[in-house]
Amino acid sequence: MRIGHAIGAASAAAALSFSFAAQPAAAADSLEAGVITGFDAATGPGLPRAVTYDQAKMPLGAKVTFKERSANAGASQFELSLEGALPGHTYGVHAHRLPCGANPDDSGAHYQNVPDPRQPSTDPVYANPANEVWLDLTTDATGAGKSATQVAWQIRPDEARSLVFHEQATATDAGRAGTAGARVACVSVRFAPVFGAVSWPRPWPPLASLHD
């Protein structure tokens, strides 16, 4: 069986159908993390948690909220929201391997559950929403938008360190899969959840902001 079939069929189906079963509090059946911050310029003595590289595409002060939940059963759920961003705009958003830097390319390549041996990865066998974390969203007239996804795996420790916002929706065709134009903003995220006994779906509990 080709790896594309395993990722694109079985994993995709599992990602869409997976849900967390309720467990007793002592079971500590899931992990949870989040960050809430505003975008700032990538200048000055200290790099902000969230940086905008193109203020026309991601305005200063736009607010980003990111939530992550992982379960011992092996799946993960991600939720993203924006406020004060460019109105009526679609952003391609992906988990990247390195933290944000002063330059857009500092965040490195996409995180992949099964890494593509050929990088940069544009093969839809690997560059797809079942093998990566894609959170594309479209904002409304006020610049607000939300997206969510879930996958049938968990991010390996310290192998994903940021969410990158691109200027357009993510492509899916061969030779372009996973691409979404220029990197307009970035949020450094430490994908390192805190233990908690929760179930999904249910309202998100309060988030503890993570700081490097």
d(CA 4, CA 2): 5
The CB-side HSE value for 177 (13 A sphere, CA atoms) comes to 19
The confidence score (pLDDT) of residue 190 equals 84
The confidence score (pLDDT) of residue 193 equals 52
Positive/negative CA dihedral, 135, 97, 84, 208? positive
Domain boundaries, the chain: 3-19+33-196
pLDDT tens by residue, the chain, 212 residues = 344 434 443 333 333 222 322 333 323 466 667 899 999 998 867 889 999 999 999 999 999 999 999 877 789 999 999 999 999 999 999 999 999 999 999 999 999 999 999 999 999 999 999 999 999 999 999 999 999 999 999 999 899 999 999 999 999 999 999 999 999 999 999 886 543 333 333 343 333 332 23
The confidence score (pLDDT) of residue 14 equals 33
DSSP string, 50-66: EEES-TTTS-TT-EEEE
The confidence score (pLDDT) of residue 12 equals 37
The confidence score (pLDDT) of residue 16 equals 29
Q: Which fold has domain 3-19+33-196?
A: Immunoglobulin-like (2.60.40)
